[in-house]
Structure 1
Amino acid sequence: MRKATKGLVLALLLAGACAAQEWEVGGMASYGFYRNLAASSPVGSATAGFSPGTAFGAVVGHNSTNWLSGEFRYTYRDSELKLSSSGTDARFSGVAHAVHYDLVMHPRPKHGTKALPFFAVGGGMKLYRGTGHEVAYQPLDNIALLTKTQQAKPMISVGGGIKMVLGPRLVLRAEVRDYITTFPKDVIVPLPG
């Protein structure tokens, strides 16, 4: 009975906090790049990864306290899968989808503050997809294969930036963000060796 009472009191306290939250909804456009890795086989090695590309997304956030908020984020990224070795390149169309929740920490805003620095950390999933047309021969296919498959990976999101208030209902953010995952070896398949 005590646990039920404590749970009810906690729910009532949180209900009041939820009603006081400020919600934000927004869109984003960005340009990003990946860190590439080395792929090797008995016949040679190549740099494997993704080309730089554009990204678009949506953000839904809530300010729970004066210094902490949370955001659900979705990002669509268009970038080619690629292999490079000794002047030879292999490319294959690809996209990535990232869905995550971040905790956003920022200093307590003072009345009239127009710029607010912030730091964000969170987690979610990233789906890598090869979307190109498979062919019988790919350059560098003796080292790795670029495939028309998909693979979901757990992801850590880390970022920071500045939130600038432009009007009573308009905010512009400039930020740097890193999505950390392990390499999608089902999409870019290194050959055994």
Structure 2
Amino acid sequence: MTVMCEDGLARPAWAATAGLMRDYYDTEWGMPVTDETGLFERISLEAFQSGLSWATILRKRPAFREAFDGFDPERVATYDDSDRERLMADAGIVRNRRKIDATITNARATLALREEGGLVDFVWSFRPDVTPEPETYADVPTQSPESLALSKALKKKGFAHVGPTTMYALMEAIGIVDTHLMGSHRRGTSGIWPR
């Protein structure tokens, strides 16, 4: 169920209090991301979020952007052992060697995908024909046949740390599916799905 906020707008409980999460919900979450750098950033941050709260990642996002050169895949693809050590020493980000290595690996895979039309077209090709219509959070899936297929396809292209649950979270975050609750003021605002 949604919560009626003091501004008269209905939001899910996680976005019902003023601050960073509400701003993210109101302006970014579920809106289409159709540029390579933006999508590479989202894939990277979703991987870092795995096992943590999104609020933690969102608070650290400015530091992540600085540490990873604005998530420019061409720059991240050149990272070497000295960059890995620099990132492991950076208290502003999540210091997880597997996730750092996955980000570098994924930057290289992103560049390789350019020969086949690019990351954006590849990821968006997994958009389903229908989107969930959740009334409550219990109705929101954590993965789908499309997120499973996307996960497998990305792994075949050399990507790492892109499991089906992480890829479903990505699909929600970038508007491939609309899992805004039916009572939310954001439902259908992406321009991709109707209310």
TM-score (normalizing by structure 2): 0.25
Structure label with greater radius of gyration: 1
Query: Which protein, 1 or 2, shows the higher relative CO under an 8 Å CA cutoff with sep ≥ 6?
Result: 2
More strand by share: 1
